[in-house]
A and B are shown apart, each in its own frame.
Chain A
Amino acid sequence: MQAALNLDQFCDTSKLTPELAELVSWIPGKSRDGQAVQIAVYRKGTVFSGPMALQLCRTGQASPADAECAEAVGMTPQELEVLRVDYEMNAKGINDKGDRELYRAGVILGYNADLSYQPGPNWDKYNAAKQQLQETEL
Chain B
Amino acid sequence: MPNKVPSKGTALLMEISSVYTAFPQITSLNISGEKAETFDSSTLDGSAHKTKTHTGYIDTATITGECFYDPDDTVHAAFITLMRAPAARNFKVTYADATPLSEIYSGCGYGFDKTASPGDGLKGSFTIETSGAPS
In the bound complex, residues from chain A placing their C-beta under 8 Å from that of B36 are: none
- In the complex with contacts A11-B18, A11-B20, A14-B90, A92-B99 CB distance below 8 A: no
In the bound complex, residues from chain A placing their C-beta under 8 Å from that of B92 are: 10, 12
CA distance A91 to B19 in the complex (A): 12
Smallest Cβ-Cβ distance to A8: which chain B residue: B100
In the bound complex, residues from chain A placing their C-beta under 8 Å from that of B5 are: 113
Q: Indicate if A105 sits at the interface (CB-CB under 8 A).
A: no
A-B contact count (CB 8 A): 108
Q: Indicate if B128 sits at the interface (CB-CB under 8 A).
A: no
Q: Indicate if A103 sits at the interface (CB-CB under 8 A).
A: no
In the bound complex, residues from chain A placing their C-beta under 8 Å from that of B16 are: 55, 59
Smallest Cβ-Cβ distance to A62: which chain B residue: B19
Which residues 90-119 of A have a CB within 8 angstroms of B? 90-96, 110-111, 113-115
Q: Indicate if B22 sits at the interface (CB-CB under 8 A).
A: yes
Which residues 2-32 of B have a CB within 8 angstroms of A? 3-6, 8-11, 13, 15-27
Q: Indicate if B53 sits at the interface (CB-CB under 8 A).
A: no
- In the complex with contacts A10-B92, A59-B75, A113-B24 CB distance below 8 A: no
Q: Is the CB of B19 within 8 A of A9?
A: yes
Q: Is the CB of B18 within 8 A of A20?
A: yes
Smallest Cβ-Cβ distance to A16: which chain B residue: B18
Q: Is the CB of A29 within 8 A of B9?
A: no
CA distance A68 to B48 in the complex (A): 76
The proximity string for B residues 38-60 relative to A, scoring 1 for CB distances below 8 Å and 0 otherwise, is: 00000000000000000000000
Chain B residues within 8 Å of A, Cβ to Cβ: 3-6, 8-11, 13, 15-27, 74-75, 90, 92, 94, 96-104, 134-135
